[in-house]
A and B are shown apart, each in its own frame.
Chain A
Amino acid sequence: MKDVNFKIGLDVGSTTIKCVVLKDEEIVFKCYERHKSLVVEKTIELLLKIEKILENKPFKIAITGSAGLGISKKANLEFIQEVYATKIASLKYFKDVDVIIELGGEDAKILFLTNGTEIRMNGSCAGGTGAFIDQMAALLKLSLKEFNEYALKHEKIYTIASRCGVFAKSDIQSLINQGAAKKDLAASIFQAVVNQTIVGLAQGREIKGKVMFLGGPLTFFEELRNRFKETLKLSEENFIFPKNSEFFVALGASIFSSHGTTFKTDFKSIIKKLKEKNEDNFKNSLPPLFKNEDEYKIFLKEHKKLDVKFEEIENYSGDAFLGIDAGSTTTKIVLITENYEILYYKYLSNNGEVLLIVLNSLKEVLTKIKDSGNKIKIKAAAVTGYGEDLIRNAFSVDFGLVETLAHLTAARFFVPEVDFVIDIGGQDIKCFKLKNKAIDSIFLNEACSSGCGSFLETFAKTLGFSISSFVEKGLFAKNPVDLGSRCTVFMNSSVKQAQKDGASLEDISAGLSISIVKNALYKVIRAKDKTKLGKNIVVQGGTFLNDAVLKAFEDELNLKVTRPSIAGLMGAFGCAIYAKENSLENSTILNLEDLTNFKYETNFTKCNHCQNKCNLTVHKFLNGKIYVSGNRCDYYNKGLVKNSNFNIVEFKYNLILNTPKKIKRTRKVGIPLVLNMYENLPFWASFFESLNFEVVLSDESNRKLYELGQASIPSDTACYPAKLVHGHIESLLKKDVEFIFYPSMTYNFNENISDNFYNCPLVAYYPEVIKSNIKTNKKIIIENIGLNNVNYFEKTAFKIFNKYFKVTKAEIKKAAKNAYYAHNKYKEKIINYAKNAIKFANENNKNIIVIADKPYHIDPEINHGVDKLIIANDCVLLTADAISFLTKEKVKTKILNQWSYHARIYTAAKFVAKFNNMNMLHLVSFGCGIDAITTDELRSILEENGKLYTYIKIDEINNLATVKLRIKSMLAAIEETKKLKTKKEHVYA
């Protein structure tokens, strides 16, 4: 028996199953296969294969991998944690490796082997895995092999949010819409994986020395390896990519089995145990959508009632109206008769070529009209959606509509008394509630909960189904699994867990439909009282065409809703109706001849007009017209908006940048331009300048600066403004300064508008994170300082600064006096600016948008140019702090009002609510836990006063499409409300 020693290592991961059989030291069998969620079946299949090879010889076996845990328990086999298995294998074959990076389907792992072993796996909120690449490839409609081949040929790399798959997808979607090349996108996706691995996994520990790369994705995607190599600046000898890299974990398990386990001879008993059904796995299951066929039939009958009529082009003569909905992932076109019958419709995937798709469809419809004898005259056309401006300009469409209005118009056609509309599309969920026929509140999903519809589609595709056949499978599922509702990344991992628990495809399908509905209801609408949504609910959007989703929605609400049979075409249908209602004598839309000659060129460039550095897509049309998309402001299409030059965000930012006096001095203090420093700088600059220091600021934020510091970020779920601090400190470390000053501040100034005047934990204590995570010999002064009490400040400031440099009490006193003066002066400037802006708005009849922000939101890298977008819509822009400095009113809240920045928001909201021409836009940084409290409170303050609540969640993410949509929807709703409301006194004196 001694001469034959078989060792089996079985690595059952989230998407693949890997196996290695060692005979002594030699690999006699290996296999790498996707298990398509049939974990147990594939394992058995594999074991049967191995059984044949072994021919009844004794063997040892160990199981590893995230799905292996269940297998090992069931079959009572030895389990070894996969990262640990990796370590065993690599230590055996590569003794001098310093770091191992292993990417799998779901998990990403990093192992530091030298100078203190450290092993880490990705946190709960991380993409950067094989499943993510799968999804992205599906999105780009490439096979995995093509995906890599395309990436290898890339010319440029785009910045794609690397926080998680959902965010990245949102960025990619917008790049696709802008017409970015697939090869560049593919490479950029790999780069995002690399960045996520560095920030999310290394968490402050430098990756250096000999680095080994393992796991499926790294094995199969050469360009992914290249991205790592380049980003980590690895030399050829430090870059280790071993043979059998995709089997390494299985190899580790087989090596492990040789010490840990006893000899076995019998595969039969293992397989028998694996085949046993687990009973307790379905405790988290949900009630079925339909109990039986009959129930389904009744359901179908009920929903058949509201159908539109169709008419053939050949049979109709008269006027017609065209509606186009150029959405984020699909384009919809509808042509209707005077009697709202549909003559023609198209529902097409964009594939990043909206122009071409619309062009071809228009050609098709016009040709049909021509072929049937030109009996139809298109009197007007309207367009809505992401591509509204582009399509309108390209084809001379008569009207452009905000999406909300388009959808509402269509919904009213079916249900005139409609009071709630919900649209679940591919990328976005849009809902709005009506009160007295006017839009009362709008709900749009934030980045985190986006992509639900298309997730269903890509998920179906990875399993080899079409979306409709996949969703249909769930209709009669007996035990739909509860997959949670946080976001698609979490859902994806819940699916994996369900698969491991042995849930059927049907149950998963139904579970996904239910999850999407829950996501919309509880995350987007935040419906607490479902009965308050409305009585006449219209559901639409392509996702609702799936009966399972519709039934899940009705079940969750316990209410019958209306789904028009053209649920997927509602935006376009609404546009067509709008075109009819606003009919013109002649539509300006291009005729068939124009369309046949229609040519366009698309070029990509970067705008250097301001520091936002937008990626521009320049469309040149044959008629000489040019249309530029991708820019925040309307500089290229409309020229600079001159009449409304009140942009307080820009004003404050410039004020802060120009705060330090431009006087050279021998003693220099470095101050990072971060978080609360965006407001406290006047104070500290004046303080240090009074003590004869030159104040040196960190560089202005941008993506590069962020990347400069990203390696030392310890918590990837912290907010972007906080994570940016690392880059600022790094930039200061390169400058010639005596020390860096970055104080810890539990408290802010007491502005007497709240119960306490705390900073949030991150603003307050981020200096501590810097101290613990950035290695430097330079002095960084991190002390607890309070500014609220002048006398106490003088006392403590002397105590503190006397430790670091020579200073007298009198000097401190004088510096403090100047500092407080500077701070007040700064506030005064803002108040005056706000007063002038309000006066200007009133005199010129302009809307004022007040951004509910925090001081750091003036940083263009943090706000991504939201201010420019608002100004481009001819609004006057103010911020909450300015209003609150002005009114100083303490607001009664239903929550504990104890953070000073957030208190200003409530104060400003109360003020905004009083005036017809003022509205608020809440800017929330992803990860701002405090805003979880603020959001609901602010909404209730505004809505109680008949104002819309709109919020925008921002992160490192750069996709402004949804932001644009939000702002436009808000402005359109404001206009509509204005029309309906009796005029209130709106002038603030």
Chain B
Amino acid sequence: MHNLTYSEDERIIFTKEMKKTYKILIPNMLPTHFELLKNILNLEGFNCDLLNYENSKIVEEGLKYTNNDMCYPCLLVVGQFIYALKSGNYDVNKTALLITQTGGGCRASNYIYILRKALKKAGFFKVPVISLNLSNLEKNPGFKLNLKLIKKFISALIYGDLLMDLYNQTKPYEKIKGSSEELKKKWTEKLIMQYKTSTNFGKKIMTKNFNSIISDFSKIEIIKLKKVKVGIVGEIYVKYASNANNNIEDFLYNENTEVIVPGILNFIIFKVDNRIVDIELYGGNQFKKYIYIKFKRYLESLQQILINTMKKHKQFSVFESFEEIKKEVKPYISYGVKMGEGWLLTAEILELVKSGVKNIICVQPFGCLPNHIVGKGMIRKILSKHSDVNFAAIDYDPGATKVNQENRIKLILASARENLNKT
């Protein structure tokens, strides 16, 4: 173990020396995306591991070390780390933890602090926690983001979104079981290789990759069937992480449906857009605003490339651009609503509805504060304008039983099947 150095606010600093010898643990929220991110980090000289524990193992630790009224994702993140540290698989004197920090008025901004408190309570006084954020919070000399790395991350997230989307669109219809899974894997590996061998990961190569990925997926043999389509929206962690949502995607797939899960890029753009809106509404630094606008344009330009490439291939349904869904949501909720998933969650529901996905499941931690507003709070209005929408809000929590959740999902599916047969 290295000598520990502390910041002014008494957190352990992740030093350059640690970078060489420490293992960094990351909770896996999205398998494809995070696999790419992990590899990008490892190429930078880090030694990262993704945590993929089952729910039943980590909940107990989470319950012990966090306030039980804290939201479920926080409990799961803390639970995973503590479970990992206790597992004996890691040298606790040479392990650091990485968590993303989004900031903002939702409780999620406090996860990192609660994690640190929990680590102390569990006796892990010497384990540094690294914050991954785009707000320049909590500096660590051993973990610095530069523009190049940020660009790499973003490219990985977009690849992740694309692979996830194509996989979801193909898997329910594939002729040979497992062919989409295999292709997704193949491309994940191929992309990792690219990151390894090439320093070039700009727009050109991305366009090329998009093309090849889409064209590869379009070659998977499918059986054309009419299937119920179900969209999943919600709090970001519960929406994506299978250990938080009782494997909802698998459950739906086994119920013979096509699952649509909106990607993560819009969430990133949304977070940048927030800052611009914030300055417009409440005043602020105009230079910062300019930088944010620049950054947002960059992200949108990448999104546009993806959309254009998808459209060219025609075979797949294509997500709308950020600006487009932002426009759609305007009559429903103000752009000022920025905490948690903010207006984006409402917008994602509308986008799904517009694209013909009329069955929507909104997943959230029990007692999720922003969701009272942007999820459950907006449903009445959405239903009043789209009476054909079939909606269920499902709460996730250590005490919520799977049988109750699945029964509610089954209810949605029963109506969905009836509607499908009508058309």
Q: Which residues of A contact B367 (CB under 8 A)?
A: 717, 927, 929
Q: Residue on B with the closest CB to A765?
A: B373
Closest to B413 in A: A81
Decide: B397 and A746 in contact? CB cutoff 8 A: no
Which residues of A have CB within 8 Å of B193? none
Assess whether A607 is interfacial by the CB under 8 Å rule.
Answer: no
Enumerate chain A residues within 8 angstroms of B278, measured Cβ to Cβ. 746
- Judge whether A932 is part of the interface by a CB distance below 8 angstroms: yes
* B344 in contact (CB, < 8 A): no
Docked pose: A625 CA to B109 CA in angstroms: 58
Query: What mask results when residues 68 to 102 of chain B are scored 1 for a CB within 8 Å of chain A, else 0?
Result: 11110000000000000000000000000000000
Q: How far apart are the CA atoms of A899 and B339 in the complex, in Å?
A: 12
A933 adjacent to B404 (CB under 8 Å): no
Residue contact B336 to A744, C-beta cutoff 8 Å: yes
Q: Mark B368-405, 1 if CB is under 8 A from A, else 0.
A: 11111110111111011001100011010111111110
For the complex, give the distance between the alpha carbons of A728 and B110 in Å. Answer: 32
Q: B395 near A746 (CB under 8 angstroms)?
A: no
Among B70, B332, B379: residue with most chain A CB under 10 A: B379
**Contact with B415, one of A119, A121, A786 (Cβ below 8 angstroms):** A119
A 88-130 to B, binary, CB cutoff 8 A, 1 in contact else 0: 0000000000000000001100000001111111011100000
Inter-chain CA distance A762–B105, complex, in Å, is 10
A486-B68, A786-B282, A894-B117 in contact; A125/B366 too (CB < 8 A)? yes
A493 within 8 A of partner (CB)? yes
Q: Are B411 and A66 in contact (CB under 8 A)?
A: no
Q: CB of B146 within 8 A of chain A?
A: no
- Please pick, from A84, A124, A761, the residue contacting B404 in the complex, using a CB distance under 8 A: A124
A283 within 8 A of B: yes
Q: A866 vs B399: C-alpha distance in the bound complex, in angstroms?
A: 31
A494 on interface, CB distance cutoff 8 Å? yes
Whether B356 sits at the interface, judged by CB under 8 Å, is no
Cβ distance B232 to chain A, nearest Cβ, rounded Å: 18
Q: Is the CB of B117 within 8 A of A494?
A: no
Q: Which partner residue on chain A sits nearest B405 by CB separation? A: A124
Whether the pair A484, B67 counts as a contact (CB closer than 8 A) is no
Q: Which residues of A contact B398 (CB under 8 A)?
A: 484-486
User: Are A759 and B105 also in contact (CB < 8 A) when A84-B414, A121-B408, A486-B68 are?
Assistant: yes
Is the CB–CB distance between B334 and A744 below 8 Å?
A: yes
* B381 contacts A497, C-beta separation under 8 Å: no
Decide if B175 is an interface residue (CB 8 Å cutoff): no
Chain A CB within 8 A of B65 CB: yes
Contact yes or no, A715 B407, CB < 8 A: no
Asked if A896 and B117 make an inter-chain contact with CB atoms under 8 angstroms apart, the answer reads no
Quote the shortest CB–CB distance from A840 to chain B (angstroms): 36
A756: nearest residue on chain B (CB-CB)? B105
Tell me which residues across on chain A come within 8 A of B107, comparing CB atoms: 929-930, 932-933
A936 close to B414 (CB less than 8 A): no
| Bound Cα distance from A595 to B16, whole angstroms | 82
Do the beta carbons of B109 and A768 come within 8 Å of each other?
no
Cα distance, A764 to B338, chains bound together (Å): 10
> What are the residues of chain A within 8 A of B406 when measuring CB–CB?
69
The yes or no answer to B186 lying at the interface (CB within 8 A) is no
State the Cβ distance, B72 to closest chain A Cβ, in Å.
Answer: 11
**Is there contact, CB below 8 Å, between A768 and B56?**
no
Cα A118 to Cα B415 in complex, Å, equals 10
Quick one: CB contact mask for A921-958 with B, threshold 8 Å, 1 for yes?
00000010111110110000000000000000000000
A496 at the interface (CB under 8 A from B): yes
Q: Are A500 and B403 in contact (CB under 8 A)?
A: yes
**Residues on the A chain within 8 Å of B213, using CB:** none
How far apart sit A744 and B333, CA to CA, in the bound complex (Å)?
11
A762 to B372, CA, bound (A): 8
The interface stretch among A354-362, A376-384, A460-468, A521-529 is A521-529
Quick check: B64 and A528 within 8 Å, CB to CB? Answer: yes
Chain A residue numbers with a CB within 8 Å of B109 are 896, 898
Answer whether residue A570 sits at the interface, using C-beta atoms and an 8 A cutoff. Answer: no
B121: interface (CB < 8 Å):
yes
| B380 x A714 contact (CB < 8 A) | yes
Is A772 a contact partner of B377 (Cβ separation < 8 A)?
yes
Is the beta-carbon distance between B411 and A715 smaller than 8 angstroms? no
Interface with B: A131-139, A612-620, A788-796, which one? A788-796
Contact B379 A714 (CB under 8 A): yes
Residue of B nearest to A125 (CB): B366
Asked if A706 is at the interface (CB within 8 A of a chain B CB), the reply is no
Number of A residues near B (Cβ < 8 Å) is 86
A485-527 contacts to B, CB under 8 A, are 485-487, 490-491, 493-494, 496-497, 500, 522-523, 526
Whether the pair B69, A772 counts as a contact (CB closer than 8 A) is no
Partner of A761, one of B105, B392, B397: B105
Question: In the complex, A931→B281 CA distance in Å?
Answer: 28
B122 adjacent to chain A (CB < 8 Å): yes
- Give Cα distance in the complex from A768 to B372, angstroms: 10
> How far in angstroms is the closest Cβ of chain B from A464?
24
Q: Answer yes or no: B63 CB below 8 A from chain A CBs.
A: yes
User: In the complex the two chains form, is B366's CB within 8 Å of A121's CB?
Assistant: no
Within 8 A of B (CB), among A721-764: 722, 744, 746-747, 756, 758-762, 764
Q: Does A782 contact B (CB under 8 A)?
A: yes
Main secondary structure of the interface of B (DSSP, over half): helix
Q: Does A895 contact B (CB under 8 A)?
A: yes
CA distance A764 to B9 in the complex (A): 29
Once the chains are docked, how many angstroms separate the CA of A106 from the CA of B408? 13
Whether A205 is near chain B, meaning CB under 8 Å from some CB there, is: yes
Contacts of A746 in B (CB 8 A): 105, 278, 281-282, 336, 338-339
What residue of chain B has the Cβ atom nearest to residue A924's Cβ? Answer: B69
Partner of A205, one of B117, B340, B380, B388: B380
- With both chains docked as a complex, state the minimum distance between the C-beta of A437 and any C-beta of chain B, in angstroms: 26
Given contacts A115-B387, A487-B399, contact A758 B372 (CB under 8 A): no
A712 → chain B closest CB, angstroms: 8
B377 near A773 with CB under 8 A, answer yes
**Are B401 and A497 in contact, CB atoms less than 8 angstroms apart?**
yes
Q: Which residues of B contact A546 (CB under 8 A)?
A: none
Contacts of B381 in A (CB 8 A): 772-773
Are B403 and A69 within 8 A (Cβ)?
Answer: yes
A124 pairs with B414, CB closer than 8 A:
no
> B106-137: which have CB < 8 Å to A?
106-107, 109-110, 113-114, 116-118, 121-123
Residue pair B413, A523 in contact (C-beta under 8 Å) = no
Which B residues touch A107, using CB under 8 A? 404, 407
- Indicate whether A781 reaches chain B with its CB closer than 8 angstroms: no
CB distance A772 to B372 under 8 Å?
A: no
CA distance A106 to B407 in the complex (A): 12
Q: Which residues of A contact B339 (CB under 8 A)?
A: 746, 758, 761, 764-765
Q: Are A765 and B380 in contact (CB under 8 A)?
A: no
Check if A443 is an interface residue, CB within 8 A of chain B.
Answer: no
Q: Is the pair A526, B67 in contact by a Cβ cutoff of 8 Å?
A: yes
In the complex the two chains form, is A935's CB within 8 Å of B67's CB? Answer: yes
Check if B373 sits within 8 Å of A83, measured CB to CB. no
Partner of B399, one of A494, A526, A783: A494
Q: Are B105 and A764 interface neighbours, CB within 8 A?
A: yes
Q: How far is the CB of A660 from chain B (nearest CB, A)?
A: 27
CB distance from B415 to the nearest CB of A (A): 6
A761, B67: Cβ atoms closer than 8 Å: no
Answer yes or no: B337 CB below 8 A from chain A CBs: yes
Residues of B with C-beta under 8 A to A788: 282
A residues less than 8 Å from B69 (CB atoms) = 929, 931-932, 935
Some 27 contacts from A to B, beta carbons below 8 A apart, are A66-B404, A69-B406, A83-B414, A84-B414, A119-B415, A491-B399, A494-B401, A528-B118, A715-B377, A746-B105, A746-B278, A758-B105, A760-B369, A761-B339, A764-B339, A768-B337, A768-B378, A772-B378, A772-B380, A773-B381, A786-B282, A789-B282, A895-B114, A929-B70, A929-B107, A929-B368, A932-B70
Given contacts A714-B377, A714-B380, A768-B337, 11 further A-B contacts (CB under 8 A): A66-B404, A119-B415, A484-B398, A490-B399, A746-B281, A747-B282, A765-B374, A772-B381, A894-B117, A898-B109, A933-B107
In the complex, the 9 A-B pairs of residues with the closest C-beta atoms, listed nearest first = A116-B387, A486-B399, A784-B336, A490-B399, A84-B414, A932-B69, A792-B283, A786-B282, A528-B121
